[in-house]
């Protein structure tokens, strides 16, 4: 069998439910229902039901979701916000966009925010913590919540990779003041362009975010604050309504594939795999990504690429503290050690279990097993 397993096959998204998408798009286009129309509000309703949260607000993308969440909070210019170094640039950039200062912390063995590292960085200027629930796993929030309560810090969550993932039966995005989600096409709930959402149980935060996303205008058309254009397209909302219907299937398939990786690669000493789907009763992981640590990573990546198996280095191989021109400071020993071995293996709904087996055959072959 000759493999051709791209890391993510964008062209597979539309055919998956082509008739339903075509019908929904046709419907929106023929009504001329482009901006702030019924599909947007219906999607917000369905999303808030799915996550059992009071408000879900559609916005332009995940980065905007972070920015508006930060803006709506009480974080002021020069306040410090602690965020893991192993994350996307958008986390730190949005903190700087409100005039605050990102302080980088280390991560734990599961690659998520390390509360001990956070604790060491807290000082009089610290105002908030931004946990990032990477790869579809919710961070262990016990200690983070404890720190936030005892030091009176806000929590704004980056849940862009973790829709439906939970820790101790609480969904990612519901631990703090607000949680941000992305619907970038390769996300577990991806649309056909850019999209994002914010969830919150706080009425006042929700009200502010709705103002910010639409030029500061309230329902009467009165401009109360300086806002922006940060709306989620109605056409994308129509697509998301369809994708949300199949979301549980999507996650089940991903967990099935993750289980197979675990069965096949779990005993290879040169690898450190993410926690397996049912390895902890506290975590429900949705496997946005399958992020491993691999000895001799660059050679493994090259070997797999020759076999036409697509893999990716997270953030192109760099954590935030590696971008020297950004001058970010903090503590990140584990992050720096692990980042040279990080590799994302293919895992998504367009990949069959037989293809995972093939990837595993190649990995075994690479390590001479
Ligand atoms: C995708 C992502 C974002 C940004 O989302 P966009 O929709 O691309 O703006 C932010 N943080 C993390 C961790 C992400 O994975």
Task: Using 70 as the pLDDT threshold, list the residues of the chain that sit under it.
Answer: 1-2
Domain range holding 340? 246-366
In angstroms, rounded to a whole number, what is the distance separating the alpha carbons of residues 332 and 106?
A: 4
Which residues form the pocket of ligand 1, taking CB atoms under 6 Å from any ligand atom? 61-63, 87-88, 90-91, 132, 134, 158, 160-161, 182, 184, 194, 196
- Identify whether residues 95 and 223 lie together within a single domain: yes
What pLDDT score was predicted for residue 331? 81
- Identify whether residues 237 and 257 lie together within a single domain: no
What pLDDT score was predicted for residue 13? 96
> And the tokens for 165?
């993932």
Q: Which numbered atom of ligand 1 lies nearest the CA of 87?
A: 13
> Looking at the domain assignment, is residue 3 inside a domain?
no
- Identify whether residues 226 and 149 lie together within a single domain: yes
What pLDDT score was predicted for residue 230? 98
Sheet holding 126-129, edge to edge: 55-59, 196-200, 178-182, 154-158, 126-129, 80-84, 101-105
- Identify whether residues 152 and 238 lie together within a single domain: yes
CA–CA–CA angle 343, 344, 347 (5° rounding): 155
- Identify whether residues 223 and 189 lie together within a single domain: yes
> Looking at the domain assignment, is residue 257 inside a domain?
yes
- Identify whether residues 308 and 191 lie together within a single domain: no
Q: Which numbered atom of ligand 1 lies nearest the CA of 133?
A: 13
Three-class SS of residue 103? strand
Q: What CATH number should be reported for the domain holding residue 334?
A: 3.90.1150.10
Q: How many CA atoms lie within 13 A of 340 on its CB side?
A: 6
- The pTM is what? 0.97
Please list the residues that pair with 180 across neighbouring strands. Answer: 158, 198
- Identify whether residues 269 and 227 lie together within a single domain: no
> And the tokens for 65?
């979701």
- Identify whether residues 313 and 235 lie together within a single domain: no
> Distance from the CA of 90 to the center of ligand 1, in angstroms?
7
> Distance from the CA of 135 to the center of ligand 1, in angstroms?
11
- Identify whether residues 101 and 228 lie together within a single domain: yes
What pLDDT score was predicted for residue 217? 97
Q: What is the largest CA-CA distance in the chain?
A: 68
What pLDDT score was predicted for residue 2? 63
CA–CA–CA angle 359, 86, 316 (5° rounding): 55
> Distance from the CA of 242 to the center of ligand 1, in angstroms?
21
């Amino acid at each position: 069998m000759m493999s051709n397993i791209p890391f993510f096959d964008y062209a597979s998204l539309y055919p998956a439910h082509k008739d339903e998408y075509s019908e929904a798009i046709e419907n929106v286009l023929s009504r001329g229902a482009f901006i702030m129309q019924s599909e947007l509000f219906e999607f917000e309703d369905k999303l808030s039901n799915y996550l059992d949260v009071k408000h879900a607000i559609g916005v332009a993308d995940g980065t905007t979701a972070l920015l508006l969440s930060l803006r709506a909070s009480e974080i002021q210019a020069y306040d410090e916000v602690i965020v893991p170094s192993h994350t996307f640039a958008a986390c730190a950039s949005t903190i700087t966009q409100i005039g605050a200062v990102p302080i980088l912390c280390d991560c734990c063995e599961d690659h998520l925010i390390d509360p001990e590292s956070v604790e060491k960085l807290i000082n009089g200027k610290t105002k908030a913590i931004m946990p990032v629930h990477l790869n579809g796993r919710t961070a262990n929030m016990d200690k983070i919540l404890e720190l936030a309560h005892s030091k009176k810090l806000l929590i704004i969550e980056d849940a862009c990779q973790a829709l439906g993932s939970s820790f101790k039966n609480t969904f990612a995005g519901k631990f703090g003041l607000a949680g941000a989600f992305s619907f970038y096409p390769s996300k577990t709930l991806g649309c056909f362009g850019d999209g994002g959402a914010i969830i919150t149980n706080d009425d006042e935060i929700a009200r502010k975010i709705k103002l910010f996303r639409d030029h500061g205008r309230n329902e009467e058309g009165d401009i109360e604050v300086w806002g922006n254009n940060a709306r989620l397209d109605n056409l994308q909302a129509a697509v998301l309504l369809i994708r949300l219907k199949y979301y549980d299937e999507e996650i089940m398939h991903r967990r099935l594939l993750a289980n197979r990786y675990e069965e096949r690669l779990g005993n290879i000493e040169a690898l450190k795999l993410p926690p397996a789907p049912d390895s902890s009763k506290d975590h429900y992981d949705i496997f946005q990504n399958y992020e491993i640590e691999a000895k001799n990573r660059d050679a493994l990546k090259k070997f797999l690429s020759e076999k036409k198996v697509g893999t990716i280095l997270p953030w192109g191989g760099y954590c935030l503290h590696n971008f020297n021109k950004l001058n970010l400071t903090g503590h990140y020993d584990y992050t720096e050690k692990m980042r040279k071995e990080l590799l994302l293996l293919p895992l998504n709904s367009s990949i069959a279990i037989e293809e995972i087996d093939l990837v595993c055959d190649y990995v075994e072959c690479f390590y001479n097993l």
